[in-house]
Each structure stands twice: as C-alpha cells, then as structure tokens.
Structure 1
Amino acid sequence: MTGVRVTVPASTANLGSGFDALGMALGLHDVVEFEVVEEGLVVEVSGDYTDVPTGEDHLVVRAFRAGCELLDVKVPGLVLRCRNTIPHARGLGSSSAAVVAGVAAAFALGGREPDTSALQLAAEFEGHADNAAACMFGGVAIAWSKERRFRSVRVDPHPDVSPVVLVPEQESSTRTTRGLLPARVPHEDAAFAAGRSALAVHALTRDPSLLLDALDDRLHEPYREPAWPATTRLVAALRAAGVPAAVSGAGPTALALPPGGVLPEEVDTSGFAVRPVPVDLDGARVAPLG
C-alpha cells in the first residue's frame, strides 16, 4: 500500500457531567492523506484552519510516527495532505481527530484495524479517551482508564438525537480550563454528577426526552465559567427554553440537542455560528489512495 486517506469526525465530550468519560462523534470531518514516498517529509494544509506546524511537530505526524513505531511499520518518506474543517481550540475534538488520523493511518499501513491498542496510543496523547474513542469508533463512547490503560465501549445513539453546535470566534485551551477545576468537589456534587452521567447514557441511547435533566452539570462547567462567560449564558438560555444543552468539551462551543434539531427562535445566538450536525456513526474511515 502506497498510501491511505483517513476521514475523521469531530467529537463532543463530557455531555454534561460525564467528565472525561462520555463522548459523541459528530458529522463534521477532517480528511488527511498519507502518501509514502522515498524520503523526506512534506506537510500540506488546506481548509478552514491552517495555522498549524508543517514539520515533525505537526500533531498528525507525531501520532503517525508513534503508531508506526508501535507496529514496526517502515515509512522512508511521507507526504501529508490535511484538509481541516473541524474548528480548532473550540471544544470539538480537533486535536483528538488529528491524533486518531495519524494512528489509524499507521494501523492501516500495518495491515490492522484500529483496536484497543490504537485507542491506548491515541488516548495517551491527551491523557483521557473520551474524544479519541468517539472519533475512532463513532457513535457515543463511554471511556474509562485503570492504571493508565484506556478502554471504551461504543453505544448507538437514539435516532432522535439531533446535535446542534454553536461555535464562537473565541478559542479556548483545554490546559487553561483544566486549571480552573478544583482538586476536590463536594460529595453532594459528585453524587449529582454520577446520577446525571448515568442518566445521560440512557437518554442518549433510549429516551431523549430525559436529555434536559441528563445534561445538567455541577462537576466542571460552573468552575470554568470565567473562561467562557458568553457560552455559559447561552447554555443557560437554551436550558431555560427547554433545550438540552451543555458546554462541548473544554469549550467554548455549546452543544444543544433540541427535538428535531431546530433551536427555538427566542434564544439569542448572536456571536455564535449555529451548525446542525448529525451524529457520526462510523468513526475514522480509511481508504487506499489512488
């Protein structure tokens, strides 16, 4: 095989109180081509988000190299072509998509389908597997770790789950927003989060009428409000209008799951690009070049 094309979806994580545990793949994609050549490295970037490194420090390249090393795949030279449409630094899993693209390509060149070892490698880049598992396998991901070994279970969303992402111009850093979280939370809030995250799995897969309660959170969103106050206000306005909503990942994008995928007109979404997107059920897709 002389090369592969990998299509990877965006993802939304946490889904309310499922902090570092729940993720869902979204129908918004980056496409990355890996062409094996005789020598050297060329990185070409196009699309909506092009302000990224173009050498060995490119995140896709780093993940690809790690995958090749794991599987002992020899790649003398590489031409990498990235078409980016997933917003960067907005809480939509762009970094996980880059990592999964690199790992999936390495596994394809090694003649293997992505598996638990692929997820382990991808999750190691960020220290948690929620976005990576959703991106790699599609649908809704339930992720966990034990002694730094990452695992996930994929479940199918209910067909009435119709995501809408509301994307601001503002960027946000996962590292920065994690710095706002306290080392300890009240036991009452931990119990609230446990109940709501369990309910979220049921609501997402069986009964979307429960999503408004399921996406409520006390575990991380209140502490991160200083990082994205406009997002907090929008999520509150959506919920007040009866729309299940939460902050997507580390923000500042808001995730809404309105019935029928349509937001009520009375909610002011100014300052946010409103994008209905389906749930991606396939995850990372790999095809040969040519």
Structure 2
Amino acid sequence: MKPLAQRFTVRAPASSANLGPGFDSLGLSLSLFTTLRVTRQSRTEIVPLGPDLAATPADESNYIYRAMQVTARRVGRELPPVRVEIETQVPLARGLGSSAAALVAGLVAANVLLDEALSLEELLDMAAREEGHADNVAAALLGGVAVTTLDKVGTHFVRMEPPAHLGVTVLIPDFELSTSKARAVLPREYSRADTVHALSHAALTVAALSTGRLDLLKHAMQDYVHQIWRAPLVPGLTDVLEGAADHGALSAALSGAGPTVLCFHDAREDTGRLHAFLNGVMRRNGLEGRVLDLPIDLQGVLVSED
C-alpha cells in the first residue's frame, strides 16, 4: 500500500441539480470548487478561510469535519489528528450544491486518511443518504452529467459526458434560499397528468443530453414538479424560463432549490445577448447578482498530494 502523504488536497466541484424535470435525479458538475488542504499533525484544527466561510465553525462541529466523521464511523476507525484548511468558490445556499461539495470533500478526505477503505460506489451511497438525494453528490463525485436513483437497495448511477458544445450560463442572485424552505412549498401529491409530464420530460432530457440533441432541450426541460411552486421564492425565475430561449439560450432551469438559474447555450455562439437579458431580468426585479459562463467540470472530486 502506498504510504499516506503527510499533506494532500481534495477538490470537489459545484453542481446544478434537477435540470428542469429531473427532480432529485439529474445533476451536472460545474467548475467552481470547494478545496480542503489536509495535513497530518499532533492535534486537530479546522480552519475555514475567506469571507464566505467566516460564519462557519472553526472546530470539530464544522460540517466538513462532521462529514469526515461519517466516513470514520462507517469504517469503524478513528480519524487521525489533522489540520483541515477549507476554501470555497461555491456560493452558499444558492442552488449550486455547496453542501454536496462540502460533504463529498469531507467524505473523500477521511477515506484517504483511512487508507481508502471505501469504494467510489460506497462513498456515493453514503453521501446520497446523508443528503437525502443523489443528484448533487453524484455530480460532485463523478463530474459531467449524473443520472441517479436512490432506494432501499442502494444508489445507482450512470455518468455521461455532456454534449461537446453544451455551454452553461448561470444567474446567481445575491440572496440565499435554503433547501428546506424551497422544499416546503412543494405539494404532497401530484396529478397523473403532471406525473406523466415529469416522467416523459425527464426521459427526453436524458436522451437529448446523451445523444447531443441540443435542439430538444427547450422542449425536454419543461417542469411542473418544482419550478412553478418555487417561482414565488425566486423573483425573475418565470421571466428567465419563458424568455431565455428568445435571447440565445437553448433552455433554462432553476438550479437545484435556487435561487440560481441555469441556462444552457451552444458554446460555439456568443453569450452577450443572453447576459444582457439576464442582467435585465435582475434589474427589473430589483436584484443584485452575477451572470457567469461556467465550464462543465468533467473530473469530479480530485485528490492530489502536495
């Protein structure tokens, strides 16, 4: 067995879940990262870095260290004392998988410390059960597009390469929206018609992404399961869903629980018109925020020795 490095880095990407109709089952990995620098030493230190993490605990109650302890309990061993420095580019509570990136980074870091006792499949199942759904954590672990199910038997997945010319633009508003609040507005039951709509459109979305049929995304990514219910929580969401395709987008969707909104576009084309439209939506709705073109991350979580 290869000797454990005294210091190593774990990098886990952001993600966008659902992609319209794929509620709790489709995820896409995006190139914003949560990074852990882990150093073996005589006592444990947790060191959040940067203004975005200033309010997070600098002790063993930190979410990432608690994630590391989940791996340790699963393996039945104690974590060795370490210094964990935490940095993130993933905005918190914005629908870009910040908790999934933190969870995956913590689980994987602990697995490295514990001699890689768990397989990728075991890490994914553990992460999915901690999150309650597999879409974000699968994308963070695997990169690319992840199609997942979570049931009593286990977590099952297919990882797909995204179409070659699929580009992503995101509108990230400067306000937070908790997943619990966004889930609380969803109905307990759905009609047969809405259920059939969700199943057929989720299937078409996967088929379009797997075959590179970018022209189908506008039709495939329509959703009645969560976006219409969450629209009152996200000013401008309806404007983007209804108007983005007229301004250079292939399709648009609420990213995870929001408030970030994701637009797909053809990466061979200029996004200036789309950016102008999205910035206009923010202005008309009294919002501040950012519009970014983000590369799709193809690698998923990465571990490197320092």
Aligned to 1:235: 241
Residues 55-204 of structure 1: matches in 2 within 5 Å? 55-112=59-116, 114-147=119-152, 149-204=154-209
**Structure 1: which 5+ residue stretches go unaligned?**
none
**Which whole-Å CA distance do the structure 2 matches of 1:131 and 1:33 have between them?**
22
Give the 4+ runs in structure 1 shifted more than 4 A: none
Identity %: 34
1:29 aligns with 2:33: yes
- Which amino acid is 1:267 matched to? F
SS in 1 for 2:106: helix
Preserved contact between residue 48 and residue 56 of structure 2 (Cα < 8 Å)? no
Report whether the alignment pairs 1:247 with 2:254. Answer: yes
What is the CA-CA distance between 1:97 and the residue it aligns to? 0.1
Question: 3-state DSSP class of the match of 2:79?
Answer: coil
For residue 97 of structure 2, what is the amino acid of its counterpart? G
Asked if the contact 2:278–2:291 (Cα under 8 Å) also holds between the matched residues in 1, the reply is no
1:246-265 equivalent positions in 2, closer than 5 A: 246-260=253-267, 262=271, 264=273
Aligned length: 289
Give the SS at the match of 2:102. Answer: helix
Higher mean displacement: 241-250 or 97-106:
241-250
1:246 alignment partner AA: A
Structure 1 Cα separation of the partners of residues 138 and 154 of structure 2:
13
1:54 paired with 2:55, answer: no
Shift of 1:198: 0.7
Worse-superposed segment, 199-208 or 34-43: 34-43
Task: Report the more deviating stretch, 158-167 or 32-41.
Answer: 32-41
2:277 is the counterpart of 1:277: no
1:286 aligns with 2:303: yes
User: Separation in 2 of the partners of 1:236 and 1:148?
Assistant: 39
Shift of 1:36: 2.0
Q: Provide the rounded CA distance (Å) in 2 between the counterparts of 1:170 and 1:108.
A: 35
- For structure 2, the residue ranges without an aligned partner over 5 or more in a row are 283-287
What are the superposed Cα offsets for residues 152-172 of structure 1, whole Å, 9 maximum, x if unpaired?
A: 221111111111111000110
Q: Which amino acid aligns with 1:236?
A: E
TM-score, reference length from structure 2: 0.89
DSSP 3-state at the match of 1:98:
helix
| Amino acid paired to 2:277 | V
> Contact 1:212–1:242 (CA<8 Å) still a contact in 2?
no
Contact in 2 for aligned 1:128/1:150 (Cα 8 Å): no
Tell me the amino acid that sits aligned with residue 250 of structure 1: A
Q: How many Å separate the matches in 2 of 1:48 and 1:27?
A: 17
Asked if the contact 1:36/1:78 (under 8 Å) is kept, the reply is yes
- Cα distance in 2 between the residues matched to 1:172 and 1:232: 17
- Aligned mates of 1:232, 1:56 — CA distance in 2: 41
SS at match of 1:192: helix
Partner secondary structure for residue 229 of structure 2:
helix
Give the root-mean-square deviation of aligned CA atoms. Answer: 1.8
Query: Structure 1: how far apart are the matches of 2:278 and 2:202?
Result: 28
Q: Residues 74-97 of structure 1, C-alpha deviation per residue, up to 9 Å, x if partnerless?
A: 433221101111011000000000
* Structure 1 Cα separation of the partners of residues 119 and 110 of structure 2: 9
**Deviation at 1:41?**
2.8
CA deviation string 1:49-108 (max 9, x = no partner): 432222222111011111122224443322110111101100000000000001111222
248-257 or 138-147: bigger deviation: 138-147
Mean Cα deviation higher: 92-101 or 140-149: 140-149
Kindly state the Cα deviation for residue 242 of structure 1 after the two structures are TM-superposed: 5.8
CA distance in 1, matches of 2:165, 2:273: 17
- Partner SS, residue 125 of structure 1: helix
Deviation at 1:26, TM superposition (A): 0.5
CA 40–29 in structure 1, closer or farther in 2 if over 3 Å, else same: closer
